[in-house]
Amino acid sequence: MGGTYDAHNVVRVNVAMHAFLHMVLWEEHGRWQDRIAWQVLSGMIGKEQGRIQAVGESSKHRWANNAEYRAKVIASHSNPQTQAKRSAQATKLWSNQAFRSRMIAAQVKRWADPERRERQAARQRGKTPAKGYKHTEEAKAKISAAQAKRKISKVTH
């Protein structure tokens, strides 16, 4: 790994050997770049999936290893102007019927999967939502006022 691109420092190999050498480097050093290179070169994943994984890994490592980057991201998320801009973008997106339909279809598809539903149910078993949480009198009054403003629709069967 590393070094110069001089004739004495370069070994010519075919694609299969190149993939194998990345696998060996990944097992020895644990670098995510070698794992992705091995998987793409060996055909285990496609180039596009490799790019997606590389971007994800890069972002994870940037977040984990760079306090300055984390501070910048956190500051941008807590900035009221940035929040307003994001909110406006989200409102514009969700007002588009095609976007809304795609998002809803994706959620329906996701929850139609029985394995996913079982995993979610397993995570929630034994958990009681808001256990021990008590609303203040002020909060109870706000909830009551909000409920009074809501329209009550009759459901016919």
pLDDT digits (tens, 9 = 90+) for 8-59: 888 888 999 999 999 999 899 888 899 999 999 999 999 988 888 888 888 8
Helix (H, G, I), strand (E, B) or coil at 30: coil
- Encoded tokens for 101: 């339909």
pLDDT tens-digit map of 47-70: 988 888 888 888 887 777 788 888
Element (H, E) at 39: helix 32-41
The yes-or-no verdict on residue 140 having pLDDT over 80 is yes
**Does residue 152 register a pLDDT over 80?**
no
Give the HSE-up count for residue 134: Cα atoms under 13 Å, Cβ half-sphere. 2
CA 111 to chain CA centroid, nearest Å: 17
The pTM of the full predicted model, rounded to 2 decimals, is 0.43
